[in-house]
Amino acid sequence: VTDHHQIGEVAQTVGLSLRTIRYYEEIGLVTPSGRSGGGFRLYTEADIARLGLIKDLKPVASSLETMGELLDCADRLASGDGDRGELGRRLGLAVDQAMQRCAQLQTRLDAARDALNRLAAVAVERAR
């Protein structure tokens, strides 16, 4: 089991660019668990899962900073570092906010589809 993957492989499987993955490291979102002798970033399965979670949450995050705070809450809950009640409340609040952004995005997406259907009708109608 080779639990250390190079950044190119990670980018491929998660669906993010090399630059994006490096940027997330720059701002402290995901730090690779190790480095090779030559300085190559080495990611574990856990690192990859974290990048996947970030990618999934991204469309409904207000910024990468708030994303970091959310992940920090989840991390500290998992590791038991801090008041569980307080952390649970904070995580719940962050999730609620993101859920509201889900609903907003869904509404906007539906509006986009409606607008596109109207445009499609114009396209074929004028063609005849």
Nearest CA to 108 out of 119, 96, 116 is that of 116
> How crowded is residue 36: how many other Cβ atoms within 10 Å of its Cβ?
10
Pinpoint the alpha helices (H) of 7-83. Answer: 7-14, 18-26, 45-57, 64-79
One character per residue 21-40, x = contact with DNA (rule: CB under 7 A): -xx---x--------xxxxx
- C-beta of 44: minimal distance to DNA in Å? 14
- Give yes or no for a contact between 48 and 10, defined as CB atoms under 8 angstroms apart: yes
Of 40 and 102, CB closest to DNA: 40
Rule CB under 8 A: say whether 77 interacts with its own copies. yes
The footprint of its own copies (CB under 8 A) covers 53, 56-60, 70, 74, 77-78, 84-85, 87-89, 91-92, 95, 98-99, 102, 105-106, 108-109, 111-116, 119-120, 122-124, 126-127
